[in-house]
């Protein structure tokens, strides 16, 4: 059971809320997460098949090392945007006390695909240019724009408006916001790297190459299912916490008062 906070939280409080939001909404976000996991496992399987067929992979341009893998990666990326939006809507419904619906989440996830793509593209290009110019501006920009997907879902902003909204909210709270989301990201990364580690241990103990390959495919898919909602949950919690800090101590009470009037 998740209860929407009525006052700003500490970093620890926000992380606790993110974990509770993650757990309270799993019955809806599990479906797009499973689809994403199957896609991830499928890409891993194609990669292993091509490696056995003698396809070499460059250090850079990895996804474009073969036409087949490039096409599948592009398709997976587009579907991934849809599933990402679906997860965000499931979490947002739960956060705001609405009964989450898989059908509604999938429909809304598809609707916001262009905005999510646009915001992600601008963020990626902007941060890349800033990092090339100097590392610190790139990190600052990434932190200021990181809440744009939450603004798209929570306030129905378009791509550029979501970037401005994220920047406005994070301004003055950069360290708090980035620290909270970064902790969630670290947890995701630990689980991400644990998959090949576990498969590597299995191979070291058994020297079974086929078993190692199957373990990699399965574990990467499972990792995607488990972690897909973790980053969005932390991002939404931080987004709403900043709204409370900057726009009132209890937004929900103000909405209820307006409704009663």
**18-45 tens-digit pLDDT:** 999 999 999 999 999 999 989 888 887 7
Summarize pLDDT for 61-87 with one digit per residue, the tens.
Answer: 455 556 777 787 888 888 999 999 999
Residue 162, token pair as written in the block: 């979501």
pLDDT of residue 61: 46
162 vs 135, residue with greater confidence: 162
In the predicted structure, residue 249 carries a pLDDT above the cut 50: no
> Distance (Å, rounded) from C-alpha 19 to C-alpha 39?
25
Do 115 and 157 touch, CB atoms closer than 8 A?
yes
Looking at residues 206-221, what average pLDDT do you find? 79
Under a CB-based contact definition with an 8 Å cutoff, are residues 221 and 40 in contact?
yes
Read off the pLDDT band of 15 (50, 70, 90). very high
How many angstroms separate the CA atoms of 43 and 54, rounded? Answer: 17
Whole-number mean pLDDT of the chain?
A: 84
Q: Which candidate, 195, 177, 186, 220, places its Cα nearest to that of 8?
A: 177
For residues 123 and 16, the model is more confident at 16
pLDDT tens track for 110-128: 999 999 999 988 888 887 8
- For the chain, the distance separating the N- and C-terminal CA atoms, rounded to the nearest angstrom, is 29
Q: Percent of the chain at pLDDT above 70?
A: 86
């Amino acid at each position: 059971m998740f209860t929407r906070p009525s006052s700003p939280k500490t970093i620890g409080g926000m992380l606790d809320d993110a974990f509770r939001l993650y757990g309270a909404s799993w019955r809806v976000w599990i479906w797009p997460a499973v689809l994403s996991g199957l896609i991830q496992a499928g890409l891993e399987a194609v990669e292993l098949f091509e490696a056995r067929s003698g396809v070499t992979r460059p250090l850079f341009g990895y996804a474009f090392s073969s036409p087949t893998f490039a096409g599948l990666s592009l398709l997976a990326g587009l579907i991934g945007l849809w599933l990402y939006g679906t997860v965000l809507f499931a979490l947002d419904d739960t956060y705001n006390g609405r009964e989450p619906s898989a059908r509604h989440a999938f429909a809304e996830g598809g609707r916001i695909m262009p905005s999510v793509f646009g915001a992600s593209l601008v963020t990626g290009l902007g941060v890349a240019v800033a990092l090339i110019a100097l590392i610190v501006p790139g990190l600052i920009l990434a932190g200021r724009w990181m809440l744009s997907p939450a603004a798209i879902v929570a306030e129905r902003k378009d791509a550029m408006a979501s970037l401005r909204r994220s920047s406005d909210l994070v301004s003055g709270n950069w360290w708090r916001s980035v620290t909270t989301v970064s902790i969630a990201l670290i947890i995701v990364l630990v689980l991400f790297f644990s998959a090949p580690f576990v498969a590597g241990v299995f191979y070291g103990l058994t020297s079974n190459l086929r078993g190692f390959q199957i373990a990699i495919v399965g574990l990467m898919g499972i990792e995607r299912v488990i972690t897909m909602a973790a980053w969005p949950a932390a991002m939404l919690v931080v987004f709403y916490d900043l709204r409370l800090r900057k726009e009132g101590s209890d937004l929900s009470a103000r909405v209820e008062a307006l409704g009663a009037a």
